[in-house]
Amino acid sequence: MHFAPRAFLSLAAAVSACALLALAARAQDFAGASAPGAEPGVWDLLDRALPSASNSFSAAATQTRWWDLPGLETRAIAGGAGWRSWRASLGLSQTGEPELGWTALALALGSSGDGAGAGVRALTRRDRDAPWSLARALRPGAGLEVGAGAWLVAAPGVRVWASGPQMWTSGAAPPLSRPLELGVRAGQGTGAWLRLVAPRVGDDGERALGVAIGIAPALAWAEVRDAPLRGAVGLNVTLAALCVEARVDAHPVLGETVRLGLAWARGARPAP
């Protein structure tokens, strides 16, 4: 007599937890696996409005398993192109199962030159409760967000950036607030960086410190963050035009998030 209610409560708690975790992951539809503050790529323009300094054509794909939950995975593809100083990226991602999942479409435009770049991003997000289409993604009720970002080479080997991914929102409110982020990084391959995230409702912001070590053709990095105290490690391997990336984020309560990525850029890229 007592097992059925307990089983029901356990199932309800599990479903609720999955739903809450899914909501918290929604704002990371186009996050890449590279080290923070590295040379911006196709994911940086889509996710943080930071354009690449290179104008070559690129394509990328990632798969993320959030907090070691098999039913909560994000699969994303993206393409980027450049002409002279102009940059553009387009991406499509899908997260979770059809009953609790969502689909996101993002477009980002930017411009970069010698030592500086700036861009804008726009994203629309829709639940997977019906077949996805471009027309449905743009109908009233979809979650919309627009943001901007910029970076600058302040000194030889020193890059600073600012990113506000959600400067304007409309429709369904974004499930996770992404405030202004400021960062500085010294070094291209081997180097270190510092990131500061502005406070949100209910917290006092976030601070992160990281370091990377590059030995061609690989680059390994690690970062520690507060609120709560947690960390991330990653590995990038670049072979000619291909780059394979892996990243693991550890959380003291939610567990581990694993992200794998594959990117291709026209022409050879310098190894880290």
> pLDDT tens-digit profile of 7-38?
433 434 344 444 444 444 445 789 999 988 88
Q: What is the rounded CA–CA span in Å between residue 86 and residue 84? A: 6
Q: What is the rounded CA–CA span in Å between residue 260 and residue 143? A: 26
pLDDT at residue 130, rounded to an integer = 66
- Does residue 141 surpass a pLDDT of 90? no
Q: Is residue 271 part of a domain?
A: no
Q: What is the rounded CA–CA span in Å between residue 26 and residue 21? A: 9
- Looking up residue 7, the CATH number of its domain turns out to be 2.40.160.40
Q: Is residue 52 part of a domain?
A: yes
Instruction: Read off φ and ψ for residue 122, nearest 5 degrees.
Output: -140, 140
Q: Is residue 270 part of a domain?
A: no
Q: Is residue 272 part of a domain?
A: no
- Does residue 116 surpass a pLDDT of 70? yes
Q: Is residue 28 part of a domain?
A: yes
- Does residue 135 surpass a pLDDT of 70? no
State the pTM of this model.
0.85
Residue 140 belongs to what domain range? 3-265
